[in-house]
Amino acid sequence: MTARPRAFRARIPGSESLTNRALLLSAAGEGATSELSYPLVSEDTIAFAEALTRLGARVQRPAGSALWRVTGGRPRGAARVWCADAGTAARFLPFFAATGTGDFTFEGSAQLTARPVAPLAEALRRLGARVSTAEGGRLPLRVRSAGLDGGDLDIDGSLSSQFLSGLLMAAPLLRGPLTVRVREVVSRPYADMTLALMRHFGAEVAEPSPGEFAVRPTGYRAAGLRVEPDASTASYFFAAAAVVGGSVTVGGLSRDSLQGDVRFVDVLARAGARVEYGATGITVSGNGPLRGGFTVDMGEISDTFMTLAAIAPLADAPVTVTGIGHARLKESDRIEAVSRNLRACGVRAETGADWITVHPGPVTPASIACHRDHRIAMAFAVLNLRTGNLTLDDPACVAKTFPGFHEELHRFSPRHPLPVPVRG
Ligand SMILES: O=C(O)C1=C[C@@H](OP(=O)(O)O)[C@@H](O)[C@H](O)C1
Ligand SMILES: C=C(OP(=O)(O)O)C(=O)O
């Protein structure tokens, strides 16, 4: 066991999900200016902000400032919009663009192009937009529209909640009321986050029955928002305390967070860590060896399943995670990426369509294949705090949501190596 680090207040950047929603809802407030404090500054949110400027908004983000100002504008004309690796950009912005008038093409990286957008295209066609996609319902996606009427439609939420969130956020910008029905939606806490932020920016949205949403064509008003720290990112630092001892506090998070991933701490509690919900933040403390011997459905908080799976070899019995089939459709096939990397470390892991079981055992030296997935890199960096024998084949991929990750984890435990500056 390494030396017990002191109590540590982790400096966690703003939530990507809250930042991107607030950027979009601010951009939808035509002519009005909203202020976002402590937004996430990362590849995903910069790409999202730049995409919005292509769609008529103005985003002022002074270097080093914790305050972004967004002035709304209506999408009009023709634009090619680059979404980089950001799933939320590809799934939210076409709906917003279709409420304007013009011809908009959305493109993304090879990684993003591998992720589905068919449910989005189908919903937009039913609302009257002209939409085309690449084969298999992939990017590039082209949408031509002269604004959308309201109506009544179903949307598929089984692959991702982001399609529902994108449609809901666009709904107040339609010419009439919209009723949306979703039979099954994964990651439901993200839809709840969407509803909460829509209301914060002035929308009237109700859920008269589970999975049925009624939205009035009210448009949006400007609002201010202080962005919570990213609960998915906090999971790595909470898990670090659980596996090396000491305690980590993340200020600005609570049981009432808008982010479902804050519930990851309850999973750590099942594994034996001590969790305290304080007045100013959440604290997780290591409490002896990690306890396994349980099965947990992480379908609603699937971004954090990798954090648990990566430290599960350190537990005293197997850990099974279920409900995570949709995690195969993210930056990587995350069930496959985690299980292959664990096996490369000599750890026994079994998988199915939507589950993984990790067995305890020694971790042998390995190079972790990150698959350009920031969460694979960050999760295995936590395991390495204990083993000290792992390297990442792409440490820089963390910049998608936390450019300063390695520095902050090193500040918690010097056992985490600082990234070697890339020469040239
Ligand atoms: O709406 C959002 O901000 C997100 C929704 C989730 O995706 P799925 O709904 O595809 O699970 C999550 O994995 C992603 O990191 C962010
Ligand atoms: C899946 C993720 O993000 P996105 O869908 O926005 O690419 C993530 O951050 O884990």
pLDDT band at 323 (very low <50, low <70, confident <90, very high): very high
- Could you tell me how many helices (H) and strands (E) the chain has, helices first? 13, 22
Residues 6+ apart with CB under 8 A from 424: none
C-beta separation of 133 from 117 below 8 A: yes
Domain regions of the chain by residue span: 16-214, 229-412
Catalytic: which of 154, 303, 393, 394?
303
How many C-beta atoms lie closer than 10 Å to residue 82's C-beta?
Answer: 16
Predicted local distance difference test score (pLDDT) of residue 184: 92
Q: Give pLDDT tens digits for 101-137.
A: 999 999 999 999 999 999 999 999 999 999 999 999 9
Residue recorded with tokens 């096939």:
333
Distance from C-alpha of 17 to C-alpha of 13, rounded to nearest angstrom? 12
Residue 52 Cα, ligand 2 centroid: separation in angstroms? 18
Residues 6+ apart with CB under 8 A from 14: 38, 39, 40, 41, 227, 228, 229, 230
Nearest-CA neighbor of 22 among 35, 8, 12?
35
Q: Do domains 16-214 and 229-412 have the same CATH topology?
A: yes
Q: Could you write out the DSSP letters of every residue in 283-349?
A: EEE--SSPP--EEEE-GGGGGGHHHHHHHGGGSSS-EEEES-GGGGGSSS-HHHHHHHHHHHTT--E
Q: Is 180 in the pocket of ligand 2 (CB under 6 A)?
A: no
Read off the pLDDT of each residue in 378-398 and give the average, rounded to a whole number: 97
Residue 392 Cα, ligand 2 centroid: separation in angstroms? 20
For residue 10, the one-letter residue type is A
Nearest-CA neighbor of 282 among 295, 269, 301, 299?
269
Is 257 annotated to bind a ligand? Reply is no
Which region among 4-18, 32-46, 88-102 has the lowest average model confidence (pLDDT)?
4-18
Nearest-CA neighbor of 91 among 117, 118, 63?
117
C-beta separation of 368 from 354 below 8 A: no
Read off the pLDDT of each residue in 181-207 and give the average, rounded to a whole number: 97
Is 400 annotated to bind a ligand? Reply is yes
Residues 6+ apart with CB under 8 A from 104: 55, 75, 78, 79, 80, 81, 94, 97, 98, 142, 143, 144
Which tokens belong to 341? Answer: 């990397």
Q: Does residue 5 carry a pLDDT above 70?
A: no
Is 17 annotated to bind a ligand? Reply is yes
pLDDT band at 149 (very low <50, low <70, confident <90, very high): very high
Predicted local distance difference test score (pLDDT) of residue 370: 98
Task: Give Cα 225 to chain centroid, integer Å.
Answer: 18
Say whether domain 16-214 belongs to CATH 3.65.10.10: yes
Q: Is 61 in the pocket of ligand 2 (CB under 6 A)?
A: no
Q: Does residue 28 carry a pLDDT above 50?
A: yes
CATH top-level class of 229-412: alpha beta
ipTM of the complex: 0.99
Which tokens belong to 344? Answer: 């490369």
